[in-house]
C-alpha cells in the first residue's frame, strides 16, 4: 500500500524539505498561528479530508494544534508530478459554526 499524503508530508518535513506558500503565510499571520507550531505538531496531525488525486497534486486537510493546544486546520500538498517539497498551502483556525465539536467533520 502506498504512503498516504500525510505520511509523505511528515517525511518531507522531517528532512526539512518544506515550503510555505505566500497564501499560507498570509493565512498563518491572519489567524496568529506560528509556523513552528504547525511544523512541530504535524506528527500528531489527524486527517480530516485527503485528496490524493487533486488536479494540482496530492493534498490533505489535517487537524493540528498550536502551542496553546488550540485547533488548527492545515492543508499540506505536494505539487503534481513532484516528490518534494511538502507545501503548506493554507492554515486557519476552524470556525466552530462550520465544524463538528472535534473539528474533524463539516456540519451539514
For 54-88, what is each residue's pLDDT tens digit? Answer: 999 999 999 999 999 999 999 999 999 999 999 99
For 17-64, what is each residue's pLDDT tens digit? Answer: 999 999 999 999 999 999 999 999 999 999 999 999 999 999 999 999
**Structural domains in the chain (count):** 1
User: Is the residue at 81 inside a domain?
Assistant: yes
Query: The domain spanning residue 88 has which CATH number?
Result: 3.30.2310
Compute how many other C-beta atoms are within 10 angstroms of the C-beta atom of residue 14. 13
User: Is the residue at 70 inside a domain?
Assistant: yes
Residue 60 CA to residue 89 CA, distance in Å, equals 10
| pLDDT reading at 2 higher than 90 | no
Residue 102 CA to residue 106 CA, distance in Å, equals 10
Quickly state the pLDDT bin for 1 (edges 50, 70, 90).
very low
Full-model pTM: 0.94
User: Is the residue at 64 inside a domain?
Assistant: yes
Amino acid at each position: 500500500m502506498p504512503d498516504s499524503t500525510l505520511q509523505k508530508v511528515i517525511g518531507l518535513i522531517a528532512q526539512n524539505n518544506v515550503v510555505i506558500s505566500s497564501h499560507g503565510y498570509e493565512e498563518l499571520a491572519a489567524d496568529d498561528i506560528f509556523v513552528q507550531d504547525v511544523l512541530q505538531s504535524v506528527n500528531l496531525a489527524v486527517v480530516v479530508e485527503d485528496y490524493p488525486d487533486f488536479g494540482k497534486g496530492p493534498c490533505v486537510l489535517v487537524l493540528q494544534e498550536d502551542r496553546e493546544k488550540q485547533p488548527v486546520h492545515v492543508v499540506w500538498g505536494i505539487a503534481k508530478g513532484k516528490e518534494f517539497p511538502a507545501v503548506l498551502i493554507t492554515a486557519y483556525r476552524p470556525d466552530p459554526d462550520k465544524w463538528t465539536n472535534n473539528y474533524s467533520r463539516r456540519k451539514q
